[in-house]
Amino acid sequence: MERENQFIGQSGAFLDAVERASRAAALSRPVLVIGERGTGKELIAERLHRLSTRWDEPLVTMNCAALPETLIEAELFGHEAGAFTGATKARTGRFEEADKGTLFLDELGTLSMGAQERLLRAVEYGEVTRIGASRPVRVDVRIVAATNDDLPALAESGEFRADLLDRLSFEVITLPPLRVREGDIGVLAEYFGRRMAAEIEWLGWPGFAPHVMDQLENYAWPGNVRELRNVVERAVYRWDDPSMPIAHVQFDPFDSPWKPRAPSHRTASANGGASQAAPRAEDFASSAPCFDEIEDLRAAVDAHERAIVEHALGRHRWNQRQTARALNLTYDQLRHCIKKHGLMESESAD
């Protein structure tokens, strides 16, 4: 499993998780990696392997959610010729492929109960039996498993074997989501931005405009680092003037005035019969104000107006006439807003 990403970050929560992985790497014990999508579970698995005594042996990966339930056991443990319809020849499973090395099981929580039972035996006794075989094969495999599920809760409800969970949880590394990694969003955005600028052969790196950095910092990042990378790289390659700081970023790549709309009956049903959809926050600034914290209404309105105007200017490459049309303002009204909010120093020629 070769990854192009590196561990980038400086927050205490993130560095603690990386340090725990580094300490656990030397031990040939199972490790569970827990985290939301895009937090870097695969990178932790690779670190556990590369820093272990097994570093020059195979690192084999299997996504448990990518295969139908009927094929998971055959994929994990292998099968003999004729074991089932379509098995024309014998095949080794992932356990045998990973012998002497590391087996990374992603999306562990999706394993069927039958596969969990066979996995438990493999972990306990170091033996696997191919489907259709009568004799087990001994293997020396270190298990690293990852999930975004609450495995203790699944075990309590009977959806995951508690004894397997006990065997796999020698060490549990829980990765923090990006939204709580203080200071890391800016560091990661700069890293991904510079890398993309080099890829498209820009001569220099102009950085991000202040309002764009504010948007990046205030966004919730449900897709975590993977989503941040996509958003930043998309913003860089779409930017037409490498001499100017990047002044527009689009979080939702599907956002378009021409994107297909849901059928009217679905829209009406979702809105309780209302036919008019509510305005979306992403059409304006990156985040809405917290109404409970507003103490000065006029200042709050001005701040929100500035965010809307600055975002629209960036989206239209500081073309003031296009921006005015997009905001349904006259050219003079937009010029007044630019002057009112002190945006003159950022503007470029029409």
Delimit the domains of the chain by residue range: 12-176, 182-346
Strand 59-63 relative to strand 31-34: parallel, antiparallel, unpaired? unpaired
CB 316 within 8 A of CB 238: no
Least confident range from 121-130, 157-166, 186-195, 312-321: namely 312-321
Question: Cβ contacts of residue 272 below 8 Å, gap of 6+?
Answer: none
pLDDT, the chain, mean? 84
CB 77 within 8 A of CB 35: no
Whether residue 311 is predicted with pLDDT greater than 60 in this model: the reply is yes
User: How far is it, in rounded angstroms, from Cα 3 to Cα 162?
Assistant: 32
The three-class DSSP label of residue 98 is coil
CB 179 within 8 A of CB 228: no
Question: Cβ contacts of residue 226 below 8 Å, gap of 6+?
Answer: 37, 38
- Topology, domain 12-176: Rossmann fold (3.40.50)
User: How far is it, in rounded angstroms, from Cα 137 to Cα 35?
Assistant: 33
Q: Which residue has the higher pLDDT, 70 or 206?
A: 206
> Per-residue pLDDT averaged across 50-58, rounded?
95
Q: Which residue has the higher pLDDT, 100 or 318?
A: 100
Please give the pLDDT value at position 293: 65
Indicate if 182-346 has the same CATH topology as 12-176: no
Closest listed residue to residue 129, CA positions, set 88, 95, 86: 95
CATH of 182-346, one of 3.30.565.10, 3.30.428.10, 2.102.10.10, 1.10.8.60: 1.10.8.60
> Per-residue pLDDT averaged across 304-325, rounded?
80
Bridge partners of 134, per DSSP, are none
User: How far is it, in rounded angstroms, from Cα 198 to Cα 11?
Assistant: 26
User: CA separation (Å) from 132 to 75, 90, 95, 125, 176?
Assistant: 13, 10, 16, 19, 43
Please give the pLDDT value at position 346: 47
Q: Which residue has the higher pLDDT, 128 or 205?
A: 205
Least confident range from 105-119, 144-158, 319-333: namely 319-333
Please give the pLDDT value at position 194: 96
Whether residue 217 is predicted with pLDDT greater than 90 in this model: the reply is yes
